[in-house]
Amino acid sequence: MYSEDAAEIIIETLLLKENLVLNIGSGQSITIEQVVSTISDFFDIKKIQYEEDKPIGISKRFINIDKLSRHIKYKRTPFDVALKETCQWYQENFKYVRR
């Protein structure tokens, strides 16, 4: 989930002035491979090497946001746009991030 979308949802939830327990998420199922592919494309990384001796783990995650959608309407940032903006921010702020 894109941090700006999460912030918007949190603010909108607080404005509801109700005691609600809500899952927040993008409502999209994204695979680890999609994330790796988008990041490697952005940074022009040609070869990805996976550590095959490590456990596979969860290949994708999905959070049900039906209840959230009934209470809050928000415009979700598409995955590829959100991740590219995050990569751009990281690239521009690398000297501050990696101290």
Handedness of CA 87, 93, 95, 96 (dihedral sign): negative
Task: Give pTM, 2 decimals.
Answer: 0.73
Residue 77, judged by CB atoms within 10 A of its CB (0-12, 13-18, 19+), counts as: middle
Domains of the chain: 3-97 (3.90.25)
pLDDT digits (tens, 9 = 90+) for 51-64: 888 777 776 677 88
pLDDT digits (tens, 9 = 90+) for 18-72: 888 888 888 888 888 888 999 999 999 999 888 888 777 776 677 888 898 899 8
